[in-house]
Structure 1
Amino acid sequence: MKESTVTNPAATALVLVAYDSQLRWAAGVGAELASRGWDCRYAAPSDVRSFVTPELERELGVRLERAPWAELVRRAAGADVLVLALQGPLTSRFVQDVAADAGHADGGRDGIRPVVVTGWVGVIVEKLVAGYLERFASDVVAVNSREDLRTFRAAGAQLGLPTDNLMLSGLPLLPGRPAAPRRGPVRTVLFADQPAVPASRADRSYLYGRLVEHARRHPERRVLVKPRHRPDEDPFRTARHHPAELLAGDDLPPNLELVYEPFPELLRSVDVVLTVSSTAGLEAVGAGVRTVFVADLGVHESLGNHVLLPSGLVRTLDVLEGPDAELPEPDPAWLRDWFVGDDDPRPPARRIVDRVAELADVPPAGRPFARTTATPAFRARVALAGHRPGPVSAVVPALPGRRRQGVRGRVLLACHAVLPSGWQDWPLVDRLRRA
């Protein structure tokens, strides 16, 4: 496909994120937009819980502004491109509010000005169809894998939704094709930790203990543990039992380290990446690094590794004890599902922006957004959002003209505001949750 370009220096793009993983996804799209001439601005809603580290902003070369939700809705309605890397419920709410601000809450025939882009920042482990329905009302729904695309097309057809806005882009964190697999002896093993997987202290202690044992048995190897964030940081998925906490006081072998360098930098020097179900595993495969999705705790929806079975890389840590040749190889069909460059060599971000550039030349009334927001499904979502507090209104303060939040929503907001991070996991809260 011929690459589309934009030469209008006045074209503007607003990119909305709330967390590190979302900024990583969005920055690839934003960089491609900027290379085509769009004035690309990044922002996070200041009245929604969010966390992006200054280190990541510097690493990606972006400046993230914080502004109130209502102000960002106003700016979005006047932008030429709107990229929503927010969680699904927030994405759905924001699209509804932008449409309402432009006077087209019911999918008016004139549409809205910006080309609206939505997508997923990693592997979808839950809410597959629900997540699609939170994003379907947009001009470009960027889909990460062929299997997801088949699922969304089938769901859209069964629900009577236009599906011409679905595009197989591939995950912008990944190359179009994976690098050639690296070979050779295993000298450095990296465990890519996840904040909430596994959830229990006992399971996390077990995994860290296995890594400590491996480091002791193999003093010739470096064993690195890469937490998602530092103990004193407060991201979206705060680690319930941080490895620095669980390993504190232990007599650790000198070849085991906690590291906080950017993951792409670490990939340059490691030989094997271990993770339970993190998107970091896909990044490692893309970089040609041997990868294992750890199955010592089983395969379960709560771990997110059930969706990775087709990879052929789900194994227990015992696989590290055998010869290097016994490390698993990714299944070719799974590689084709996630690395979509065989049919089209363009990188994922370029595919997305090429489509955006095409739609920028189409009058708003002729874009997919105008058709998707004219559907009964969209009108029902707007009506429901105005009728009762939902998952979005529990974290987004009530906006002008919106129904006041219920008691539960206000209590949750107050807890987030005054209690320290991790309050959701206090024993008292857990007992109340089960009551």
Structure 2
Amino acid sequence: MRDELEARDFATRVVVPDTRSALSAQQVRDAGFDRVDRVPWDDLVAACLGSDVVVSALAGPSTHRLSLAVADALAGGVGPGPVLVSGWVGIIIEKITAGYLDRSGTDVVAVNSTDDLAHFRRTGETLGIPTDNLVLSGLPFLSAAPRPPRSGAVSTVLYADQPTVPAPAAERAYVYRRLVEHARRHPGREVLLKPRHRPGEDTFHRMSHAPEDLLPPGDLPANFRIDHTPVPELLERVDLLVTMSSTACLEAIDRGTRVALVLDLGVHERHGNHVFLDSGLLRTFDQIDADDLGTPSDAFLHSWFGDRDRPAPAAIADRVEQLLASGCRPSRDVWESAYFRSATRTTAEVADSAQHDEHPGNPRWMTRAWARRVDTHGTVRGTLAYGATLLLPPAVVVPARRITSRRG
């Protein structure tokens, strides 16, 4: 979105709330950002109010909080305010309704698939929330027309790992063991395991068990290795992508790469593979070993690639420019809906009351995470522990927390 807006002569700035970041400086650079300004929340809101367009890449609850702050600031009727944009960075595998409602107070809600669009429209109509802000953009890294599926023998297999799917160590160890066995069964194939991030790094979903810690003991086959090359680069030479429920499966389909979604651990919301029931791609490792692979169903392809004729950033930016030119802000009608006004007021009251009830001896301005540490460790140690989570990188905080818990 930044690149698309800059191509249309918008000046852009990237700001984030001044809280603990899950991302390392290297991850930020790898994403293409040389400068990211960390600012207090009030300054972030002020920056939004001084902008023409605000693209919220925050999680749903923070996006909701931001839209409420902008709504409160504009309650006096001072100008139309910025065009607020929100969306999802991948397949929605949980909290689909809650995620939509968190983003419903923005002017443009970028929707990834036709199935999601239908669900959001039904939800909005049921709750009396206007849905004029929904825009079927598709995922920003997908085209509108996937390449034809590749044929021929499989020579390179890529497993796209996920930070928390599956979560238990035993289940992750099973998946890694089957990948190693696949490499042994097919010595002529290259089998690559791509972790979501490098050891010591985090994403928005923290990984508890790195592949290096769970791979079977002993010598690994020469045709198996861990590779940290970005998935889009690897897909240019991969014949088969295997994963549980990673968005990488859509990137693979877009490039004509065959896909198998691991079925051995069952279909479950905690695996995220429930959203792929109609994909035609769910397979057990026995089937993968035997090259019994599926093909994407027509309905699945249409949901993710159909009904659009331009890249997602262009579709979103076109809508943004329309709203800027007209002065219209669809969020205003949402803010005035009975559901939004009631939910907003109730959420604020409950959060404030919960903060006081859980930690009655602490001031109301103290965050709940800070208050929990103060209650557990005392004022000085609790404050130092909370400060460490804000100031130190995950590569330092996570090992320190593990050591402390073991000693306890």
Letter in structure 1 aligned against 2:234: L
CA distance in 1, matches of 2:262, 2:112: 22
For residues 42-73 of structure 1, what are the alpha-carbon distances to aligned partners after superposition, in whole Å with 9 as ceiling and x for unaligned?
22212254325524524535532222222111
- The count of aligned residue pairs is 383
Structure 1 residues 355 and 412: CA distance shift in structure 2, 3 A: farther
For residues 284-341 of structure 1, what are the alpha-carbon distances to aligned partners after superposition, in whole Å with 9 as ceiling and x for unaligned?
1111111111111111111110011111111112222224xx321000111000113x
- Equivalent residues in 2 for 1:381-400, closer than 5 Å: 381-389=343-351
For residues 54-112 of structure 1, what are the alpha-carbon distances to aligned partners after superposition, in whole Å with 9 as ceiling and x for unaligned?
24524535532222222111101110100011111011011112222x242xxx65564
Structure 1 residues 301 and 218: CA distance shift in structure 2, 3 A: same
For residues 217-258 of structure 1, what are the alpha-carbon distances to aligned partners after superposition, in whole Å with 9 as ceiling and x for unaligned?
111111100001111113321211110121285321111111
CA distance in 2, matches of 1:427, 1:200: 22
Letter in structure 1 aligned against 2:299: A
Structure 1 residues 40 and 203: CA distance shift in structure 2, 3 A: same
User: Which residue of the partner structure matches residue 259 of structure 2?
Assistant: 291
Query: What runs of 5+ residues in structure 2 fail to find an aligned partner?
Result: 356-362, 375-381, 390-396
For residues 14-59 of structure 1, what are the alpha-carbon distances to aligned partners after superposition, in whole Å with 9 as ceiling and x for unaligned?
xxxxxxxxxxxxxxx2211111111122222122543255245245
- Equivalent residues in 2 for 1:13-412, closer than 5 Å: 29-51=1-23, 53-58=25-30, 60=32, 62-100=34-72, 102-104=73-75, 112-247=80-215, 249-323=217-291, 326-340=292-306, 343-363=307-327, 366-389=328-351, 403-405=364-366, 410-411=371-372
**The residue matched to 2:196 in structure 1 has which SS?**
coil
CA distance in 2, matches of 1:156, 1:258: 44
For residues 250-288 of structure 1, what are the alpha-carbon distances to aligned partners after superposition, in whole Å with 9 as ceiling and x for unaligned?
321111111111111111111111110111111111111
Q: Which has the higher helix share?
A: 2
Letter in structure 1 aligned against 2:318: D
**The residue matched to 1:191 in structure 2 has which SS?**
strand
Residue 416 of structure 1 and its aligned partner are, at CA, apart by 6.1
Residues 176 and 348 in structure 1, CA contact (< 8 A), matched pair in contact too: no
**The residue matched to 2:277 in structure 1 has which SS?**
helix
CA distance in 2, matches of 1:381, 1:408: 23
Letter in structure 1 aligned against 2:261: F
Residues 283 and 293 in structure 2, CA contact (< 8 A), matched pair in contact too: no
Structure 1 residues 130 and 316: CA distance shift in structure 2, 3 A: same
Letter in structure 2 aligned against 1:368: P
Letter in structure 2 aligned against 1:71: D
- What CA RMSD, in Å, does the superposition of the two structures yield over aligned residues? 2.7
Residues 388 and 403 in structure 1, CA contact (< 8 A), matched pair in contact too: no
CA distance in 1, matches of 2:401, 2:63: 24
CA distance in 2, matches of 1:360, 1:103: 16
CA distance in 2, matches of 1:424, 1:303: 27
Letter in structure 1 aligned against 2:184: R
CA distance in 2, matches of 1:427, 1:377: 45
Residues 138 and 308 in structure 2, CA contact (< 8 A), matched pair in contact too: no
CA distance in 2, matches of 1:177, 1:416: 48
Residues 46 and 66 in structure 1, CA contact (< 8 A), matched pair in contact too: yes
CA distance in 2, matches of 1:174, 1:424: 39
CA distance in 1, matches of 2:187, 2:64: 51
CA distance in 2, matches of 1:127, 1:412: 28
**The residue matched to 2:237 in structure 1 has which SS?**
coil
CA distance in 1, matches of 2:152, 2:191: 17
Structure 1 residues 425 and 285: CA distance shift in structure 2, 3 A: farther
CA distance in 1, matches of 2:255, 2:13: 29
Structure 1 residues 119 and 92: CA distance shift in structure 2, 3 A: same
**The residue matched to 2:260 in structure 1 has which SS?**
strand
CA distance in 2, matches of 1:289, 1:92: 37
Residue 147 of structure 1 and its aligned partner are, at CA, apart by 0.7
User: Which residue of the partner structure matches residue 6 of structure 1?
Assistant: none
CA distance in 1, matches of 2:32, 2:113: 24
Letter in structure 1 aligned against 2:106: S
Letter in structure 1 aligned against 2:64: S
CA distance in 1, matches of 2:253, 2:25: 25
Structure 1 residues 272 and 425: CA distance shift in structure 2, 3 A: farther
With normalisation by structure 1, the TM-score equals: 0.81
Letter in structure 1 aligned against 2:316: I
For residues 362-405 of structure 1, what are the alpha-carbon distances to aligned partners after superposition, in whole Å with 9 as ceiling and x for unaligned?
22xx3202211122223224323432338x99xxxxxxxx9535
User: Which residue of the partner structure matches residue 421 of structure 1?
Assistant: 398
Structure 1 residues 248 and 236: CA distance shift in structure 2, 3 A: farther
CA distance in 2, matches of 1:357, 1:265: 33
CA distance in 2, matches of 1:66, 1:181: 44
Residue 172 of structure 1 and its aligned partner are, at CA, apart by 0.9
Structure 1 residues 412 and 155: CA distance shift in structure 2, 3 A: farther
CA distance in 1, matches of 2:281, 2:215: 27
Residue 140 of structure 1 and its aligned partner are, at CA, apart by 0.5
